[in-house]
Chain A
């Protein structure tokens, strides 16, 4: 039975209630596949407020009103290694640090000097810094490198637009953010689905997109049914809006559905030019749901967390010194976060370049001492058990960067 035929007949199977068997593709997948989740903080999170170099004296000179206090003080950072401390709003992540499954790579970033959000995001998503013309994203190339058969079930993106990082020839499903994801649509009715399946039964771009959308909706519906008991336990109360809600949903989907190998979610609102605050304030208000959501994701994955790598990244860091408005402007080096059962955790990796004026990039920003491709390439292929050569195909032109040595080992063998 070819896929198209499957979909056409599956139209009939859309009659509620959905059974687990309705999601045929599950059976073909290995029971315990390795997975990758990428969370992209769009707008350039201030990494020096996430993993705070409280042991670097220059930090307090550069940030007179927005520095976080050392550990042990009121609203101080949570100590990580006597030099760095975690923002207190991220307290929900500390158990994972202590359990050794949370790591950071500081002073990590792109070799490209751009301070444009949009170019910097593009380069981190297409995986070719300085080269905007690369149209597909490195996560899509990764999907192509995974063992087949390939279907939209293997990757899911949250949100109504397909991000560049997942754009490319491999099919990807996307689902709505928030509660809208679980609400039924007219297209779920068999008669409607059948009529449009006639229109979009071909192999052209729109038809494939339609078919992927219908697959994703079936997947959601099956996960919802599996989740029925939990909904009863919640007494029908809707989950809170925002990232924790979506992270919990993602965890449920991934736990129920081994076919999902890659997931992506972008979070905005990190461009804190004004009044970013310290232990409390605008940035803290963003970090809090992020920490809660990541914690929910870990808990919700349950045993599957052992086989999951979660990466949190952002396009660049922010100026080492605060600006005139209690905020920070566009900078360069940043911190990358890694969580997962196989992560070499409990450690801030990378080389700290220091914050004295002569060590700053262009006399203003945290320098980049670890190329983001040297982190992601090896970590991803090691985690997903892909051949060594795959890293360079994810990040074309980066062979020397990836094999050059000096990059930390982040994933246990």
Chain B
């Protein structure tokens, strides 16, 4: 309790401090990082895979400088090919409210033409946002930012096929995740908490104080009481972790705090308090559904507020800088970037940085990147690629940009990792045991065979063995060398892409 009280005081004292100005300083990396092997490891772990000749290029710049630049993505110009590709995807630039309005309008039209139009609209939106997601991973030069966007989207997962979320997932990624992945965690946390995709996915838009007057008037009378879905996952998954020291009572109290924090479903209602930064918002706080009693949350008393949304702000601040959150998220980051079972000492140091900087994520990442554990030989080449990482890294290794990425989306579905396609809020697993299995192996090797022969769906692409080979560093495993030596030359690129050397990063 003492500790928690101190934390709250700290948040009051230090919340105005700017982030430490270390954004562009080269990192202090161990000597092992500043070699060709170090450059390969950096590209394997901190990008979606090296492109041909890229290992040499990063070594020439210096891994420390390259990494400092990656931590400051706005200083990296995007390649024109990506800018052009994104410009051709108009639905990715529309606001959440704009997309909602069109969807809601089309839903009202019950004619056959109306239904057809809505189907086409949904198809176009989904195709655009998936393509944008894929193209950024494949082509962006802000690779660390893209990797982190994938990591944090997955951490704050929402699911394409729940209700309206298919029209919001892309906007969620672009407006609630990507801009904040290299900032303070508290900001990222609130951006997800306010986004309609999350409010809808974990049902908080319906969470109301029991007996509140507006709750009973709303659609179907189904907004008259607590819904603890978001409150629970906000602690279990997003912040403290399941062993983070909260109780069922804390879940219920947080659900009470979150009452009225939802969506502006009825624009005519004046009582809503909205996000004034966006004139056409869909996030809104509805005071008529809020529970105004005091709450006991994680040992703090949160006073019922006339402006109830301030209670949510307070709760998010408590969660973002809680020692359990620091430990939980440091572990998750280290598992993603270092090892399925990351070294405890490293996780502890990252958590210390988290507490010291109050959740400044670039500082936490620096602690990890500057650690000997990150560059240790026993950590190198030991992370089994997820299906998404596997497919994107194969295209990058072959320097292939598919004219139509659609067949690859189907491929990812078969491999078990469709884009925006995991139903549960814990997101996709990031460990080998989830992905290395007989069926996936047969499917990866079949994908490698098709791509090695220059086939993506019905399209033909150009790919060559030497390019792929150059991304695998200086030495292949004896197992792979031996299989290559006796292979049909037409299958050699497939074998490289299907080798253990390529499956791990």
Say whether A and B bind each other. yes
Knowing A114-B242, A192-B449, the reply to whether A160 touches B414 (Cβ < 8 A) is yes
9 closest pairs, A vs B, by CB?
A324-B225, A160-B416, A213-B438, A199-B483, A185-B446, A186-B449, A186-B446, A213-B442, A212-B438
Knowing A160-B414, A186-B449, A326-B220, the reply to whether A116 touches B236 (Cβ < 8 A) is yes
The reply to whether B438 and A118 contact each other, CB–CB distance below 8 Å, is no
B433 interfacial contact with A, CB 8 Å = yes
* B496 nearest CB across to chain A (Å): 10
B424: A residues at CB distance < 8 A? 42-43, 117-118, 268, 271
Number of interface residues of A (CB under 8 A): 55
**Across the two chains, which residue of chain A brings its CB closest to B225?**
A324
Q: Among the listed stretches B147-155, B181-189, B204-212, B298-306, which one makes contact with chain A, having 4 or more residues with CB under 8 Å of it?
A: B204-212
* A262 nearest CB across to chain B (Å): 15
Interchain Cβ contacts under 8 Å between A and B, 20 examples: A43-B424, A117-B426, A118-B242, A167-B433, A174-B438, A176-B443, A186-B449, A192-B491, A192-B494, A195-B495, A198-B487, A199-B480, A202-B479, A206-B500, A210-B438, A273-B203, A274-B222, A323-B226, A324-B227, A327-B227
A21 interfacial contact with B, CB 8 Å = no
Query: Chain B 462-505 against A: per-residue CB contact (8 Å), 1 yes, 0 no?
Result: 00000000000000000110110011100100110011100100
The reply to whether B449 and A187 contact each other, CB–CB distance below 8 Å, is yes
A205 interfacial contact with B, CB 8 Å = yes
A329 interfacial contact with B, CB 8 Å = yes
A275 interfacial contact with B, CB 8 Å = yes
CA A175 – CA B495 in complex, angstroms?
A: 23
B435 interfacial contact with A, CB 8 Å = yes
B423 interfacial contact with A, CB 8 Å = yes
* B286 nearest CB across to chain A (Å): 14
Knowing A115-B248, A324-B225, the reply to whether A210 touches B441 (Cβ < 8 A) is yes
Query: Chain A 41-58 against B: per-residue CB contact (8 Å), 1 yes, 0 no?
Result: 011000000000000000
Query: Chain A 179-220 against B: per-residue CB contact (8 Å), 1 yes, 0 no?
Result: 010000111000110011011001001100110111111000
* B327 nearest CB across to chain A (Å): 16
* B174 nearest CB across to chain A (Å): 26
Contact of B439 among A160, A268, A324 (CB under 8 A): A160
Question: Which residues of chain A from 361 to 379 have any CB-CB distance to chain B below 8 Å in the complex?
Answer: 362
* B491 nearest CB across to chain A (Å): 5
CA A212 – CA B440 in complex, angstroms?
A: 11
The reply to whether B445 and A196 contact each other, CB–CB distance below 8 Å, is yes
Contact of A273 among B229, B251, B429, B488 (CB under 8 A): B229
B429: A residues at CB distance < 8 A? 161
B415 interfacial contact with A, CB 8 Å = yes
* B330 nearest CB across to chain A (Å): 18
B232 interfacial contact with A, CB 8 Å = yes
CA A244 – CA B486 in complex, angstroms?
A: 45
B173 interfacial contact with A, CB 8 Å = no
B228 interfacial contact with A, CB 8 Å = yes
**Across the two chains, which residue of chain A brings its CB closest to B453?**
A186
The reply to whether B436 and A195 contact each other, CB–CB distance below 8 Å, is no
CA A329 – CA B206 in complex, angstroms?
A: 13
B436: A residues at CB distance < 8 A? 205-206, 209
B450 interfacial contact with A, CB 8 Å = yes
CA A213 – CA B446 in complex, angstroms?
A: 12
B222: A residues at CB distance < 8 A? 65, 274-275, 324-326
CA A329 – CA B440 in complex, angstroms?
A: 34
